[in-house]
Amino acid sequence: MLSITNIHASIEGKQILKGISLNIRPGEVHAIMGPNGSGKSTLAAVLAGREAYEVTEGSVSFLGKDLLPMLPEDRAHEGLFLAFQYPVEIPGVSTTNFIKAAVNEKRKYLGQEPLDAVAFMKLMKEKMAMLQIDQSLLSRSINEGFSGGEKKRNEIFQMAMLEPRLTILDEMDSGLDIDALRIVAAGINQLRTKDNSLLVITHYQRLLDYLEPDFVHVLYNGQIVRSGTKELALEIEQKGYDFIKEEAGLAE
Ligand code: ADP
Ligand code: MG
Ligand code: MG
């Protein structure tokens, strides 16, 4: 699904990622944990193709294609979905119309006919029922005045409608209380299939109780310093990140 090989990346001339390699197979859930400033969001940004980030070395293959030369929107059309870091607010554009445009852009890219109004409504209703999303959320301007929890539910709805192969969640848990977190995580779990994969970026273990990762990687100072199973996340929750730094011989 996704194969990251020795990625080095910098922003404004400052090197942030220092040789990241990671393989994600279909159906797998990988978590990336790490202290603040370790480069987690930078990795997500590089995968999404954000302009400010310069990849100086390494390669990424996504579903057999070379990802890095692709435009951000084409990455999305190919099945990559990055959620939560920068929720857009667009006054005057309803969530429904925003999603309809996104769905049909993707279909166009894939050489498919656009969905007509009837087919689109049918798909909307199906996904709304699945995620227990309220109709009123969808008629409001996208993200305008939404609470943190509503923004995240809305993104999960977008994800459901776009049916990505790989979803990257960057700090989905930030700003969510425990009830909202549980609802959002349950929505994500409902969208999981044996063909789709998740890359969950988080500072805290809490979210991983709900999204049970197959693998956990610890990012520190731009490198993956340790990989393990979900027990590694529990160990970090108990001991903090210091022991990882010490073990890696990186203590400052
Ligand atoms: P994390 O998500 O793990 O908290 P980030 O990827 O956001 O870490 O940041 C990694 C490092 O890159 C930090 O030292 C941060 O200060 C730096 N950084 C992030 N964005 C910028 C930017 N726009 N300009 C300069 N430095 C940045
Ligand atoms: Mg941060
Ligand atoms: Mg971050």
Structural domains in the chain, sorted by start: 25-45+72-238 (3.40.50.300)
How many Å from the N-terminal Cα to the C-terminal Cα in the chain? Answer: 36
Cα 250 to averaged position of ligand 3 atoms, centre (Å): 20
| pTM to 2 decimal places | 0.91
* Ligand 1 atom with least separation from CA of 36: 4
- Asked whether residue 169 carries a pLDDT value surpassing 70, the answer given is yes
- What tens digit of pLDDT does each residue of 216-237 get? 999 999 999 999 999 999 998 8
Band of pLDDT at residue 151, cut at 50, 70 and 90: confident
Phi, psi of 3, rounded to the nearest 5 degrees = -130, 110
* CB of residue 85 inside a 6 A radius of ligand 1: no
Cα(66)–Cα(75) distance, rounded to whole angstroms?
A: 10
* Average pLDDT for the chain: 89
* Contact predicate 139/95, CB 8 Å: yes
* ipTM score over 0.90, yes or no: yes
CA dist., res. 197 & res. 59, Å (int):
19
Ligand 1 atom closest to residue 171's alpha carbon, by position in its atom list: 2
Q: For residues 6 and 59, what is the distance between their CA atoms, to the nearest angstrom?
A: 7
**Residues 24-33, buried b or exposed e (16+ Cβ, 10 A)?**
beeebbbbbb
CA-CA distance, 103 to 151, in Å (whole number)? Answer: 19
Buried b (16+ CB within 10 A) or exposed e, 193-231: eeebbbbbbbbebebbebbebebbbbbbbbbbbbeeebe
CA of 116 to the centre of ligand 1 (A): 42
Report the atom number in ligand 1 closest to the C-alpha of 34: 3
Whether 252 has a pLDDT exceeding 70, the answer reads no
Residue count of the chain, please give it: 252
Say which range, 10-24, 69-83, 137-151, has the weakest mean pLDDT. 137-151
Distance 36 CA to ligand 2 centre (A): 5
3-state secondary structure of 206: helix
Q: What is the CA radius of gyration of the chain?
A: 18
Composition of the chain by helix, strand, coil, percent to 5: 40, 30, 30
